[in-house]
Amino acid sequence: MACIVENNRYKCHIALIQTLWQLVIKMKLWIYLIFLLTMFASCSYLDSNKERVRKVEKFSKYVKDNKQEFEKLTKDILNDKYVQSRIGYFISKNELSQDLNERLTKLDIPKLSVSRMQCDSLELEYITAWTEYPVGQLYLTKDNCYGEQSNKGYYHQNNFIEVWGQGDGWVIWIDSDFI
């Protein structure tokens, strides 16, 4: 619509300015909304960090209190013929003998994996059901090479992965990636 008359042109300019002003207000609202969502997400992230640390402290104590059972279970699993044939694969507790299955069930460990290490030893990784998102998936690993990360007090964070050394070859690590 073209404005030919002076008064109409004036009215057209006012309508244009009003429309632009409404857009600016909407953009400000979006910017505030994005800011608030970012703040909320960061607070949620801090809460999940605290929760993750609390869970790790709880399960560090649990592993320490049940260390003999974990050591014996690890030895029995690594000596199992079926497990030895499945190195490098995920193994469900249901694939194992009834005895191993029951012991893993009591410890709330549904899966595990065994890998060959550079020191020509086997590493056993328990994939626990001890945590869930947003804390992340918690793993308990027996590193028979006794690498640096298994030293008591060791801590490392790399993006979504956090590693806590438990001593004597034991490592707790969490993958908090949501995918």
Give the pLDDT of the chain (179 residues) as one tens digit per residue.
Answer: 444 455 555 555 666 677 777 877 777 777 766 766 665 554 444 466 787 788 888 888 998 999 999 999 999 999 999 999 999 999 999 999 999 999 999 999 999 999 998 888 899 999 998 876 667 888 999 988 878 888 999 999 888 888 999 999 999 988 877 66
Cα radius of gyration (the chain): 28
Asked if 126 and 109 count as a contact pair (C-beta separation under 8 A), the reply is: yes
Q: Are 125 and 111 in contact (CB under 8 A)?
A: no
Coil, strand or helix: which one is 154? coil
pLDDT score of 6 = 55
Residue type at 131 in one-letter notation? T
Contacts of 97 (CB under 8 A, 6+ apart): 80, 82
User: pTM, whole model, 2 decimals?
Assistant: 0.70
Cα–Cα dist 61/166, whole Å: 10
How many CA atoms does the CB half-sphere of 8 hold within 13 Å? Answer: 5
Please report the beta strands in the chain, taking only residues with DSSP state E, as ranges in sequence order.
90-92, 111-116, 122-127, 137-143, 155-158, 161-167, 170-175
Give tens-digit pLDDT for 61-79.
Answer: 998 999 999 999 999 999 9
